[in-house]
Amino acid sequence: MTRTTKKLTLGVALAALTAGGAVAQDWGDFSGYTLRVKLIGGAQYEPLYATISEWEAATGATVDILSRKNHFELDREIKQDIAAGTLNWCVGSNHTSFAPQYGNIYADLNDLIAPEVLAEFTPLLLEHSTVDGRLVQLPRHSDVSNLFYQKSLFEDADNQAAFLAEYGYELAPPETWAQVFDQAMFFADPPNFFGTQFVGKDEAVTGRFYEMLVANGGAMFDDDWNPTFNSEAGVEALEFFVGLYNAGAVPAGVPNYLWDDTGLGFASGTVALNLDWGGWSAFFNDADNSAVAGNVGVIRAPMGSAGLRTGWSGSHSFSITEGCDNKEAAASFITFLTDHDRQMIEARMGILPTRTAVWDDALAEFADAGNDFMVEVFSTFRTSMAEDAFTPPLIPEWIEVSNVLWPQLQAAMVGDATPQAALDRAARDAAEIMEDAGYN
């Protein structure tokens, strides 16, 4: 036996052992049981579902996927189920931003999943998944936004000299949002090139405003749930977006942008700086799809005027209904879907994991493969997920408040109202919502 063959045999034996280990993990025996589930659908979420058959083989149970829709449609369907009293399924995809709306339809997972399993998850994420002291969801993957930029623009000597002359400090990837503002103005050359961009409608723009508000030292509500986002910090946050918009440093269409517009915009090579979700990383650096592939840098999201970093974050998750007739099977199923090997499948695509060990192993895999870009992405996002991430207020009224806020944010951008007037109006409407909901 040559040395190479020996190594190979050992490798195969090891691989078989590891694989054997995975199969040997006891997912329980639920022969003959049919687990009814409603899952989030979409290209990047599907690869995980291909592994469901492994769980079926291991447990003898069958999984019946009742629906596979995007989050907003799934949300509508779940609300209809609540209204019609047809919550006759066991496992549903959930999201930290949506979870508080559903009241107590979902079971407390602290009672269903072993503490040693829960201990393997990032503690901050379990905290975000808790509503009223109940762990209503198990995080599948999470996301936060960091700043992507075109490296060549910052390395260009002419740019460096011109920027220094105009703004009095060195051109470098920005540490604060004030610097982002300067750099965006500096790089902008509408309609051919833009300094930065942002999403401009729906909960997306509410979230962007919210994280800037927090980074500037403000808050959405005070301790008694009175809206306080029309504070000085709020006006400062909104003026950041309005200022960039009025100066033409962002595309004129941003009030109508959502995630696909900003993602495709940065990939088109016409934007210098782009705050975006980790899930886009691989796409930005893929030469088939992106004009900036090989030229993408990423840094932690910059700081607002209060010295805090923006870090609006949310997690996709799985929940078990209170009315589930076999919670044990359901718990086994969602533990399976979020276990180490399953999260590795998603991490390889650039989706951020929720288990501490998966961060290490995915990083090691990227490093071994010589994928420096993904190493940079995962290190950056790991830090911001651990230190900067925060959720919106976990109250059922969040989406409703968002729906009175975002049209006003747009009104300020397109010049229908001053930032102060727009926020005052939204705060009045939000106060009414909170009052109707019985907060004060």
Partner 1 sequence: MSRAFQTGRVNWTPVLLLLPAIGVMMFVVALPLVFSLYTSLTSYRLTRPETIWDFVWFRNYERLFGNRDFWVAFGRTILFLTIALNVQLILGLGIALLINKITWGQRTLRTIMMFPMMFSPILVGFQFKFIFNDNIGILNNALQSLGWTDRAIPWLVDGKLAMFSIIFAEVWMSTSVFAILLLAGLFAMPRDPLEAAKVDGCNAWQVFRHITLPFLMPFAFIAMTIRSLDIARAYDIVKVMTDGGPAGRTELLWTMIARTAYQDARMGQANAAAYLSTILSIAFTYYFYLKLVESRRYMGGVQ
> Residues interacting with partner 1, by CB under 8 A?
72, 75-76, 79-80, 82-83, 85, 101-103, 190-191, 194, 197, 200-202, 251-256, 261, 264-265, 268, 270, 396, 399-400, 403, 406-408, 410-411, 413-414, 416
What's the rounded Cα separation, in Å, for the pair 75 and 213? 27
Task: Of 302, 259, 257, 261, give the one whose Cα is nearest residue 278.
Answer: 259
End-to-end Cα spacing for the chain: 79
Backbone angles phi, psi at 68, to 5 degrees: -140, 90
Return the H-helix or E-strand segment holding 256.
Answer: none
What's the rounded Cα separation, in Å, for the pair 222 and 219? 7
Decide: 237 and 304 in contact? Cβ < 8 Å.
yes
Shortest distance in whole angstroms from residue 287 CB to partner 1: 18
User: Of 260 and 372, which has the nearer Cβ to partner 1?
Assistant: 260
Structure tokens of 426? 């939204």
Shortest distance in whole angstroms from residue 270 CB to partner 1: 6
Decide: 354 and 140 in contact? Cβ < 8 Å.
yes
Shortest distance in whole angstroms from residue 76 CB to partner 1: 5
Q: What is the DSSP string of 277-296?
A: EGGGHHHHT-TTT-TTTT-E
User: Of 346 and 429, which has the nearer Cβ to partner 1?
Assistant: 429
Q: Is 172 left (phi over 0), alpha (psi -120 to 50) or beta?
A: beta
Shortest distance in whole angstroms from residue 191 CB to partner 1: 3
Shortest distance in whole angstroms from residue 192 CB to partner 1: 8
User: Of 75 and 143, which has the nearer Cβ to partner 1?
Assistant: 75
Shortest distance in whole angstroms from residue 304 CB to partner 1: 24
Residue spans of beta strands (DSSP E) within 41-119:
62-69, 91-95
Structure tokens of 46? 């599907």
Shortest distance in whole angstroms from residue 77 CB to partner 1: 10
User: Of 389 and 417, which has the nearer Cβ to partner 1?
Assistant: 417
Shortest distance in whole angstroms from residue 123 CB to partner 1: 29
User: Of 125 and 399, which has the nearer Cβ to partner 1?
Assistant: 399
User: Of 115 and 191, which has the nearer Cβ to partner 1?
Assistant: 191
User: Of 28 and 269, which has the nearer Cβ to partner 1?
Assistant: 269
What's the rounded Cα separation, in Å, for the pair 303 and 413? 22
User: Of 339 and 397, which has the nearer Cβ to partner 1?
Assistant: 397
Shortest distance in whole angstroms from residue 410 CB to partner 1: 4
Shortest distance in whole angstroms from residue 384 CB to partner 1: 27
Decide: 10 and 1 in contact? Cβ < 8 Å.
no
Task: Of 18, 318, 270, 397, give the one whose Cα is nearest residue 142.
Answer: 318
What DSSP character marks residue 123?
A: H
Decide: 148 and 295 in contact? Cβ < 8 Å.
no
CA within 13 Å, CB half, 16 = 6
User: Of 83 and 165, which has the nearer Cβ to partner 1?
Assistant: 83
Backbone angles phi, psi at 259, to 5 degrees: -60, -40
User: Of 63 and 409, which has the nearer Cβ to partner 1?
Assistant: 409
Structure tokens of 29? 């025996």
